[in-house]
Amino acid sequence: MQLAPVAGHIGAEVLGIDLTQDISEATATFLRQALDDRLVLFLRDQSLDLPTLKRATTVFGPLLRVPYVKPSPEDADVIAVLKEADEVRIGVFGGDWHSDFSFLEAPPGGSLLYGEDIPTYGGDTLWSNQILAYETLPDDLRSIVDGRGAIHTGGPYGRQNAPDATVATSRSIGISRGNSDADREVLHPAVRQHPTSGRRALFVNPIYTRRLEGMSESESRPILERLYAHATRPELTCRFRWTPGSLAIWDNRSTMHYAINDYDGQRRLLYRTTFAGERPV
């Protein structure tokens, strides 16, 4: 088992593991440690069906069913991330920088995404290291976020912050909109500590963070914009070129990610599972 970094500060390809075989405790420990170190792992040439994808997910935590996104008809623990070739000039699932579902009391610990049908070009995914984002914050921003909370809501799924009804999104992924329970505000620390590595990561979210604790939305906005610009600097990121049979595993506690929507006219299908996390501290 070996790790080959794919960028300076985040991401590594894992070599020498076939997830269709039994996953020994030594392999599971290697993968968990590698995820703590590199935050995103990539395994190529896997031949996973949904049960083996789910089994691999439980190496990292219990399976979690996320709200507001319809699961695949094949399996309630799996989301089919699909855009059909004829769906052009529309938004895609995950097409902005975000961590997943940060508006939940206990946001996911991470996710696995398995490439099934991949465009011949385009459709890459980016991840960004939020531990390094925190460590390299300018002093004035660090003094604002240290010890402060941030308020998150499930904006895109709710009523108050729902997207404009005229914004076209993929018909191939069932998103439930207009749920008033998604407008509920949840307070999380703007800097969180990782439960196993102990490292501190910036934890604000361009999609779900509404404002910083003790500030109005308009006071928060310019600060959040500076935080997001810093948190997504290219030096903090890696970019993955999908191939059929490749698997990405990411730590949702200390990364953000972005699905690049540049493959109109081609079909893209990936299967996604999620593992549970804890209330951020």
Q: Least separation, in Å, of the C-beta of 146 and ligand SIN? A: 28
Q: Is 272 a catalytic residue?
A: yes
Q: How far apart are CA 155 and CA 138, in angstroms?
A: 29
User: Known catalytic residue: 152?
Assistant: no
Task: Reply yes or no on whether 241 is catalytic.
Answer: no
Minimum separation from the CB atom of position 12 to ligand SIN (A):
18
**Which of 105, 133, 96 has its CA nearest to residue 237?**
133
Q: For ligand SIN, which is the closer residue by CB, 99 or 220?
A: 99
Catalytic entry in 38, 98, 194, 253: 98
Secondary structure, 3-state, 57-83: HCCCCCECCCCCECCECCECCCEEEEE
Rounded to an integer, what is the distance from CA 64 to the centroid of its chain? 14
Of 80 and 212, CB closest to ligand SIN: 80
Q: Distance (Å, rounded) from C-alpha 119 to C-alpha 27?
A: 31
What is the sign, positive or negative, of the torsion defined by CA atoms of 50, 51, 54, 55? negative
> What's the closest the beta carbon of residue 134 comes to ligand SIN, in angstroms?
22
Query: Could you count the other beta carbons within 10 Å of the beta carbon of residue 12?
Result: 20
89 is an active site residue: no
CB 31 within 8 A of CB 250: no
Which of the following is catalytic: 100, 152, 188, 211? 100
Answer for the pair 266, 122: CB distance below 8 angstroms, yes or no: yes
The nearest distance, CB 96 to ligand SIN, in angstroms, is 9
Which residue ranges make up the site for ligand SIN (CB under 6 A)?
81, 93-94, 113, 125, 257, 259, 270, 272
Q: Which is nearer to ligand SIN, 113 or 182 (CB)?
A: 113
**Residue with Cβ nearer ligand SIN (144 or 236):** 236
Which residues are part of the catalytic machinery?
A: 98, 100, 257, 272
